[in-house]
Amino acid sequence: MEVLRFWRSHPTRNPQMDFLVTSGKAGVFDEEAQQLGAEVFYVPFQRNHLIKFTREFRRILSEVRYDAIHDHSDYVSGLHYFLAGRHLPSLRITHVHNPSYQMKTNYGVTFVRRLTAMIGKKLVARYATCIAGTSRQVLEEYGFYSPEFNSIPKGALHCGFGPERFLGDPAEAKTRLCEEFGWPTDSRIILFAGRIDRSADPTDSQAHKNAPIAVEVGIESCRRDSRVRMLLAGELSPAVPTLQRRIDAGECSGKIVFAGVRRDIEHLMLASDLLLFPSRGEGLGMVAVEAQAAGLPIIASTSVPRECVVIEELIRFLPLSDSPAAWSEVALEVLRAPRPKPKKFNEAVTSSDFTTENSARKLLELYSGSTMIDSSPPR
């Protein structure tokens, strides 16, 4: 959507981009995409509807005659290419966003699904003309640097955003946030930004964003420093009541708050003093890049790709094997330091590959056949 908005606001760079939604369900951006000139096709991709999917998919490709197909379905993109038959465009890009362990713990839970993934991977090797990832690390995790894929150009193709959105006055933003939640204006605020995991067990493989660990770190930090507050912004889940009981038992009621889905992440990042990012895995970790644009210090797990780092002084990595007390000790060290002013950090992110303008330019180079993919694996 960021790229589509950018292209429509720059008439000289105005390729047509349509969307095929394989869930078959409408989403929050569909209406805007259509207003920007994109067509949205709803074609469910399910085992018991493969014939219907194939027929409709081929009809769309034959009628519109696209120059490129850019597929975000990991290994399953290979199955899409196969089912397209002779209607496939000459440029076929498989773009990987999610860490590979999610393929195993979320998708590959049955023999049939694991077999489907294996077949899909083979078909990617046969049909893809380019393999991109939100990071080179995620491509390595999926095995795309193996000899089977040597002939296919591959490398990182970062998502873009507008860093200027994250400029502002941290002190003013904090005052407004503290008023909203009834916190003292001298609060030291830890931000957790991401959906709340469905499990409250930090050892559960389904705890992707690791909200249970974030809560433990928050409780420990509140105990050690009475000024500490924590805001967890993201879609709520059935695990919230259990996590809330832990917060209450730790005597942190009102100090650690589940804010639900927020549309003002820029404001939250300017108002906070630390982003806690203890994910079990990430394709890249765009929330960390956004935090750097706001000048917000970050503590991330070592599972997060280092490719998210634009400004080294703003981010520290800790292993998930460290205890919540160890994470809290580092968090308090960061919280007690002065909050950096965002302007110089925002300028650094604006010069990086993570801006919408640079992301859109690289996509155009890729679609036009220019070589812009670095095939070397991560060091």
**pTM of the prediction?**
0.91
Report which secondary-structure segment, H or E, holds 32: helix 30-35
CATH no. of 166-350: 3.40.50.2000
Close Cβ partners of 369 (under 8 Å, ≥ 6 residues apart): 91
Q: What distance in Å separates the CA atoms of residue 200 and residue 21, rounded to the nearest whole number?
A: 31
pLDDT of 128 above 90? yes
Q: What distance in Å separates the CA atoms of residue 121 and residue 250, rounded to the nearest whole number?
A: 47
Q: What are phi and psi of 233, to 5 degrees?
A: -105, 120
Closest CA to 170 of 267, 301, 300, 51: 267
Q: What distance in Å separates the CA atoms of residue 329 and residue 378, rounded to the nearest whole number?
A: 31
Q: Give the pLDDT score at 205.
A: 79
pLDDT of 336 above 90? yes
Least confident among 150-159, 163-172, 289-298: 150-159
Percentage of the residues of the chain whose pLDDT score is greater than 70:
97
Quick check: 48 and 69 in contact, CB under 8 A?
no
Q: Indicate the DSSP class of residue 355.
A: B
What is the mean predicted confidence (pLDDT) over 8-36?
A: 89
Close Cβ partners of 58 (under 8 Å, ≥ 6 residues apart): 83, 84, 85, 87
Q: Indicate the DSSP class of residue 304.
A: S
pLDDT of 379 above 80? no
pLDDT of 372 above 60? no
Percentage of the residues of the chain whose pLDDT score is greater than 90:
80
Give the fold, CATH level 3, of 2-160+355-367: Rossmann fold (3.40.50)
Q: What distance in Å separates the CA atoms of residue 298 and residue 275, rounded to the nearest whole number?
A: 5
Quick check: 138 and 283 in contact, CB under 8 A?
yes
Give me the sign of the Cα torsion angle 318, 133, 143, 146: negative
Q: What is the pLDDT of residues 188-202, one digit of tens each?
A: 999 999 999 999 998
Q: What is the pLDDT of residues 39-95, one digit of tens each?
A: 999 999 998 889 999 999 999 999 999 999 999 999 999 999 999 999 999 999 999
What is the mean predicted confidence (pLDDT) over 214-231?
A: 97
Is the pLDDT higher at 253 or at 375?
A: 253
Q: Give the pLDDT score at 14.
A: 72
Domain 2-160+355-367 and domain 166-350 have a common topology: yes
Q: Domain coordinates of the chain in residue numbers? A: 2-160+355-367, 166-350
